[in-house]
Amino acid sequence: MSLSHVFDIAGSALTAQSQRLNAVASNLANADSAASSNGQPYRAKQVVFTAVPLGRNAMGNDPTAMSGQGMGVRVTSVIDDPAPPRMVYDPKSPLADAKGYVTMPNVNVVEEMTNMISASRAYQMNMDMMNTAKNLLIKTLALGQ
Amino acid sequence: MLNSLDQFLATRVSALDLRAQRSELLASNVANADTPNYKARDFDFTQALQSALGGHRSNGGGLQVDRTSPAHLAGINGGTGNADVKYRIPVQASIDGNTVELDTELGQFTDNAVRFQADLTFVSSQIRLLQIAIQGQ
């Protein structure tokens, strides 16, 4: 029954989006962490989403069946944001370099906030989808009664 | 008799099957709304249903096995697994190569769900009809 695959697919999206939300929380919490455990300033973490075959025919090796197959989403890696760090002039800081600049994390707070909104909306959307699929399945179970 | 019972329900049941399959595809699209380079997919329901019911096979539908000898087996044709899945053409493509438009997908998903429920209602009324016929009262 394909409808139950909707749970797998939407469920994978829920997991992925919550991981993204976790990354956002980590980034916002450390937006001002000039020194982390490794002595370097914190670097923003970004999740990488990849579509993965899921649901119908996911286990089969039939290449002709691939086109119509359900695709879930998975976080395949969490990368350090390659953006350059923010340099803040603060000669009083013990972390300041010779010119008086402190290397701050490359977290873009505005970007993280939009990321958060996007993730929570996507989470809601997938939740709605699961609810719809659940209702349909319940109605199907009641068929003929 | 069993065959005609099967035929009595066949259209609605294939439709339900295809609706379920389509909901899976649409759920994939929504799940991958933020995946770079993901292309939204869908299929033409009318065409898929016709193909599933063994109707107009010549105009598209599922892939057919070519038989060059009468001794060849026909293979599995029709069926709901053969819906012609196509990529959706986006109205506003995004820069990361993703073609999912959430409003379209959600609208289609809801539409699909409502039609699924309609089909369920039809099937259950057909079953009621059968029960009336069986009881003969």
CA atoms within 13 A on the CB side of A119: 21
CB-CB under 8 Å, A64 with B63: yes
Quick: pLDDT tens for B10-54.
888 889 989 998 999 999 999 999 999 999 999 999 888 888 887
Substitution target in B16, B23, B108, B134 with the highest count of A β-carbons within 10 Å is B23
The mean pLDDT value of chain B amounts to 82
Band of pLDDT at residue B137, cut at 50, 70 and 90: confident
Using CB atoms, which residue from B21, B23, B127 is nearest to A144? B127
Band of pLDDT at residue B74, cut at 50, 70 and 90: low
CB-CB under 8 Å, B63 with A49: no
Within an 8 Å CB–CB cutoff, is residue B9 touching chain A?
no
Q: What is the pLDDT of residue A10?
A: 93
Q: What is the pLDDT of residue A24?
A: 95
Band of pLDDT at residue B75, cut at 50, 70 and 90: low
Quick: pLDDT tens for B104-129.
999 999 999 999 999 999 999 999 98
Q: What is the mean pLDDT of residues A100-118?
A: 93
Pairing of strands A45-53, A71-80: antiparallel
**Coil, strand or helix: which one is A73?**
strand
Q: Is-contact A19 A79, C-beta < 8 A?
A: no
Q: How far does Cα B49 stand from its chain's mean position?
A: 6
Q: Is-contact B42 B108, C-beta < 8 A?
A: yes
Is residue A125 over pLDDT 90? yes
Within an 8 Å CB–CB cutoff, is residue B116 touching chain A?
yes
How far is B117 from A100, CA to CA, in rounded Å? Answer: 68
In total, the C-beta contacts within 8 angstroms joining chain A to chain B are 105
Q: What is the pLDDT of residue B136?
A: 82
CA A26 vs CA A39, A80, B34, B45: distances in Å:
17, 12, 20, 44
ipTM rounded to 2 decimals: 0.77
Q: Is-contact B36 A78, C-beta < 8 A?
A: no
Which chain A residue's Cα is nearest to B117? Answer: A136
* Residue type present at position B26: L
Q: What is the pLDDT of residue A68?
A: 65
Substitution target in A129, A139, A141 with the highest count of B β-carbons within 10 Å is A129
Band of pLDDT at residue B59, cut at 50, 70 and 90: very low
**What is the sign, positive or negative, of the torsion defined by CA atoms of B11, B66, A53, A73?**
negative
Using CB atoms, which residue from B63, B106, B124 is nearest to A143? B124
Band of pLDDT at residue B72, cut at 50, 70 and 90: confident
Within an 8 Å CB–CB cutoff, is residue A12 touching chain B?
yes
pTM, rounded to two decimals: 0.78
CB-CB under 8 Å, A118 with B31: no
Q: What is the pLDDT of residue A13?
A: 94
Which chain B residue's Cα is nearest to A128? Answer: B106
